[in-house]
Structure 1
Amino acid sequence: MTGNQYVHRMHSGALGKPVFFVLHGTGGDENQFFEFGRQVLPDATIVAPRGDVSEHGAARFFKRTAEGVYDMGDLQRATTKMVAFVNDIASTHQASAIIGLGFSNGANILANVLIKDGVFDAAVLMHPLIPFQPAPNPGLAGRRILITAGKRDPISPVVSTLALETYLSRQNTAVTTEWHSGGHEIQANEIDAVKAFLIPYK
């Protein structure tokens, strides 16, 4: 495994179809969203990496020092690695579009990749937390982004979700947010919103 690679699971779709990267939350693995990815985009190449950081045995994509407090150096390392991983696979499969879906920690690394490097044409950020003010990135204009969130989420608070939504809107992305009344769990209306969001890539 090279420095740009993750332990991952892959389903190779047709050349020229989208590549769909699905990123697990803390304690998940490459199986968490793999079959869901295959169901919603059956002709796409599905790639599910496993986070390369262990937090008391729970896989993550980057380190943190406390709940909601990120190790910014490791976040940058992880972002650089993820960008290289995504670009390598998308190039190999001649991707018509690069799409990402992440939940919790997976949404956080996906969001930071977008903020820093763009890379993804469309992204689903499920319960993300970006606890800092990102620098502007005019290159994000035109990206399609779906945020899903819980109004009682103690890990990804409403104020943080709204701040990320505002940031992405100011970068001229096509961003929408799907809310539910619960906490840091995925509910049925989120799944429906994701499926609707991904229809153009089938």
Structure 2
Amino acid sequence: MSMESYIHLARAPAPGMPIVFSFHGTGGDEHQFPGLIGQILPGAGIVSPRGDVSEHGANRFFRRTAEGVYDMADLAERSRKMAGFIRAHRAAQPGVPVWGLGYSNGANILAAVLFQAPDLFDRAVLMHPLIPFAPAPQPGLRGLPVLITAGRRDPICPLPETEALRDYLAAQGAQVDLALHEGGHEIRPEELQRVAAVLQRGVA
């Protein structure tokens, strides 16, 4: 798969810094998170693809047939395509740590890639994910640090689904942490503090 499979923003990392892949939510684009990542982790490399599915004009990373109802065949195909894109960028920066951050639909495509190819990421942040299906066992997730953030009252990503994803990741041996706020689908300041702590951990 090509490094140019998606319209994207890319910035090379400073020496000793990781590359952070960022994945926007529905209706966002490749500009949604690079600025935030740059504030949290100056010098980090960034690869930020734009979803190549249009839902009534809103960018997404895979199709759905209704709210919370995924086109599973399309999700599998789009996940393979994204995994190839990520692998190509990894190959261009050998030895550089690779982290992933996604929000909402972006968290879902990141999670789907992790289910298929957990070797692509050294650290992952899933903000308000919704995985309304039971992923297959994936022993390659063992030891992977994963932060999940969510709102207790999120109408789009119900808390039981979030907890089920946490439990699945924990069962695979991932180092999973769940950070909840009292709101809904919005990203809150205390949530960003947790995200920043994960991204900055171990970075000089």
TM range (shorter): over 0.9
Specify the SS of the correspondent of 2:112.
helix
Match of 2:105 in 1: 105
After TM superposition, list the pairs within 5 Å mapping 1:131-150 onto structure 2: 131-150=132-151
2:68 is equivalent to residue 68 of structure 1: yes
* Structure 2 contact 2–85 (Cα < 8 Å) conserved: no
How far off is 1:17 after superposition?
3.1
Specify the SS of the correspondent of 1:54.
strand
Match of 1:45 in 2: 45
Greater CA deviation, 59-68 or 113-122? 113-122
Match of 1:32 in 2: 32
Match of 1:153 in 2: 154
Aligned equivalents of 1:75, 1:105: Cα separation in 2: 11
Match of 1:115 in 2: 115
Specify the SS of the correspondent of 1:115.
helix
How high is the sequence identity, in percent, across the aligned residues?
Answer: 53
Match of 1:196 in 2: 197
Q: Which runs of 4+ in 1 moved over 2 A?
A: 1-4, 14-17
Gaps of 5+ in 2: none
Aligned equivalents of 2:27, 2:191: Cα separation in 1: 21
2:184 is equivalent to residue 186 of structure 1: no
Which residue identity does 2:86 align to in structure 1? V
- Normalising by structure 1, we get a TM-score of 0.95
Deviations 1:30-76 (A, max 9, x none): 01001111122222210111000000000000000000000011101
Distance change >3 Å, CA 56–CA 195, structure 1 → 2: same
How far off is 1:128 after superposition?
0.1
Q: State how many pairs are aligned.
A: 202
Aligned equivalents of 2:53, 2:84: Cα separation in 1: 17
Aligned equivalents of 2:4, 2:172: Cα separation in 1: 28
How far off is 1:164 after superposition?
0.1
Gaps of 5+ in 1: none
Aligned equivalents of 2:95, 2:18: Cα separation in 1: 5
